[in-house]
Structure 1
Amino acid sequence: MTDKIAPQSAASTEARPVGTRILHTMLRVFDLDRSIAFYTKAFGMALLRRTDFPGGRFTLAFVGYGAEEKDAVLELTHNWDQKEPYEIGTAYGHIAIAVPDAYRACEILEKNGARITRPAGPMKHGTRVIAFVEDPDGYKIELVQRD
């Protein structure tokens, strides 16, 4: 028997002091084209966007069932220099959560005992403001600033 937790009201500011919704879950993939084909053909997802980052030597592809603005999606990350397939467990990347202000979110999270592993600031090979936090088990959570 499991205990059920009543959901907090979406209107409550205490219910969501930092984030607004889950954006994506990131997986590292060895063969990007093969992974895109798998998720789009086998699962019927759509390729929503694909972006190369030559300076960082990686490509990001987002797949899902709906628009990123409304639905959680999968981020497939292909690191160009990866020589061997990833082991199960090492391919997991992070969960992403939309926040209105990544700097403020980090302040709130830090005051509540969260470990900030990458402070808020522009993405290394882009301009979007992001931050990374670890949950109690060490899993990464990306905060993505969205207006």
Structure 2
Amino acid sequence: MRILHTMLRVGDLERSIAFYTEVLGMQLLRRKDFPEGRFTLAFVGYGAESEQAVLELTHNWDTPHYELGTGYGHIALETDDIFATCDAVRAKGGKVVREPGPMKHGTTVIAFVEDPDGYKIEFIQP
């Protein structure tokens, strides 16, 4: 078995696709409308779904906003240069919510950004 995807419900699909593709550099892998169910699914990632886990962005046409709740944590992405990655996110209009630095009680260098719906993405520098 392997992880296929993680699903996030998003309020504005175009805004979310733009964030994940233009700000985080993912590719839009596929997209399909389901008019009878009034929703659209879009899959984004850094490579083919047959090779890597991806994100499924689910847009329910009649729901412009979601409450994130207290159970969700974050998505983690590895980056070779966390400082340059955060600078690039800021330059493209993204929001860095925790500047790069060592994690609490450890030495791993991390940072956090936030997508347009408030989901946290953690950058980790190996």
Q: Which TM-score tier does this pair reach, normalised by the shorter chain? A: 0.5 to 0.7
> Which residue of structure 2 aligns with residue 58 of structure 1?
39
Q: Structure 1 CA distance, aligned partners of 2:69 and 2:57?
A: 15
What is the correspondence of 1:62-77 to structure 2 with a 5 Å cutoff? 62-77=43-58
SS of the residue corresponding to residue 4 of structure 2 reads strand
Q: TM-score, normalised by structure 1?
A: 0.46
> Which residue of structure 1 aligns with residue 66 of structure 2?
86
Which has the larger Rg? 1
Identity %: 77
Q: TM-score, normalised by structure 2?
A: 0.54
For structure 1, the residue ranges without an aligned partner over 5 or more in a row are: 1-19, 93-147
User: Alignment length, in residue pairs?
Assistant: 71
State the Cα distance separating 1:89 from its structure 2 match. Answer: 2.6
Counterpart check, 1:40 vs 2:21: yes
Q: Stretches of 4+ moved more than 6 A in 1?
A: none
Counterpart check, 1:29 vs 2:10: yes
Q: Structure 1 CA distance, aligned partners of 2:69 and 2:32?
A: 25
For structure 2, the residue ranges without an aligned partner over 5 or more in a row are: 73-126
Q: Structure 2 CA distance, aligned partners of 1:89 and 1:73?
A: 22
Q: Structure 2 CA distance, aligned partners of 1:77 and 1:56?
A: 12
- The AA in structure 1 aligned to 2:69 is G
State the Cα distance separating 1:36 from its structure 2 match. Answer: 0.1
- The AA in structure 1 aligned to 2:47 is G
Deviation per CA, 1:47-67, whole angstroms, max 9, x where unpaired? 000000011110000000000
